[in-house]
Amino acid sequence: MSIKDKGTWVIKLPAKAKLLVEVGDKVDVGQKLAVFNSHVVETFSYSGDLAKMSEKKREELDNFFKEKMVQEGEIFYEIGFFKNKICFPLTGVCLGFDEFKNLKIEKVEDEEREIFSPIEAKVGKIEDGKLVLEFKAKEYEGQGLNGLKAWGEGEVKIINEIKMLDYEMGEAILFTENLDKAFLLKALVVGANAVVTKDNEEIKEVDLEIPVLRLEKQIWDEFMKENLGKKKKILVNAKMDKLLLVLE
C-alpha cells in the first residue's frame, strides 16, 4: 500500500475528437473534456462493374475522389458503350479503393457524443490519442479476477447476503466475501459498478461484466479500519491488480 501523488486515469480519445481542455487544466467531476462524432467505415464491392477498368483509370478516380466528401447518388464513373452510371451509395468521406477493388466510405454520425471527467483531477498529458488525468490517491494492491476497471462512489460497507442488495447501492463498489454466482448477478442487476472481495484464493477468475478484485486479509482489514462507513470515490482496476482510493 502506498500514497501516490499521481494516480492516473487514461481516456482514449476517438479520432478527430475536439478537446475542450489543455494540459495543466484542473477539471471537476462530470466536466466535459471532449466532444466527437462517431466515424463508421463501410465497404462496397464494385469488382464486377470495374473489372474491365484499367489500373490507370482506377488510380485516377482514386486520386480524384480520395479524402473528398461525396453525396449518395452522385456519379463517380460512367462505364460501357451505354454509359452505365456508377454512383456513390453513401454520403461521407471517400477513402478510395482497396486492393480488392472495394470502395470505402467513411460516414460521420450526426449525433455528437461527449466525454466527461469521472473525477476531480488535473490534465497531465494529451498525446498519442490519449488524455491522462492525474489525481491524489492511496493505492491498495490486490489480484484482479477479470480484466476490467471502473469507478464507483458511495458508502463503504460489507454486504454478504443477497437480501441486502438493493438499488440504493447503484454505482457504488460492492465489498463482499460472497462470490456466489447468483449473488454477483444480483449485484450487477442493482447497479454495482465493481466488486472487491476478501482473501478467497480458491476462485481464480470470475466471469462478470464489472471488475472483480481480491484483497489479502491484512490489506482488506486495514482498508476497512480506515474507510468503513465513509462515502468514498474509488477506482477498481482488476486489469492492473489495484484499488485506488481518491484522497480529498
Residues 109-168: tens digit of each pLDDT: 777 889 999 999 999 999 989 999 999 999 999 999 999 999 999 999 999 999 999 888
Structural domain ending residue among the three candidates 62, 78, 111 = 111
Question: Average pLDDT in the 160-183 region?
Answer: 92
- Classify 95 in phi/psi space as left (phi over 0), alpha (psi -120 to 50) or beta: alpha
pLDDT at 236: 96
Quickly count: other Cβ atoms within 10 Å of residue 144's Cβ. Answer: 20
**How far apart are the C-alpha atoms of 57 and 72, rounded to whole Å?**
22
| pLDDT per position as a tens digit, 187-236 | 999 999 999 999 867 777 888 999 999 999 999 999 999 999 999 999 99
Regarding whether 136 and 51 lie in a shared domain, the answer is no
Q: Do both 95 and 49 map to the same domain?
A: yes
Return the pLDDT at 217.
Answer: 93
Count how many Cα atoms sit within 13 Å of the Cα of residue 51 in the half-sphere of its side chain: 3
- φ, ψ for residue 11 (rounded to 5)? -110, 120
Predicted pLDDT of residue 10? 92
Q: Rounded to two decimals, what is the model's pTM? A: 0.69
Average of pLDDT values for 7-30? 92
Going by the DSSP 8-state scheme, the letter that residue 90 receives in this structure is S
- The reported pLDDT for the residue numbered 81 is 58
Q: Which residue range forms the structural domain that includes residue 51?
A: 38-111
Say yes or no: 227 and 179 in one domain: yes
Q: Average per-residue pLDDT in the chain?
A: 87
Is the sign of the CA dihedral 24, 25, 28, 34 positive or negative?
A: negative
> 3-class SS at 61?
helix
Domain check: are 138 and 77 in the same one? no
Q: Is the pLDDT of residue 177 over 90?
A: yes
- Domain co-membership, 55 together with 77: yes
DSSP 3-state of 23: coil
Residue where a domain terminates, one of 86, 111, 136: 111
How many domains does one find in the chain?
Answer: 2
Considering the domain architecture, whether residues 58 and 151 belong to the same structural domain is answered as no
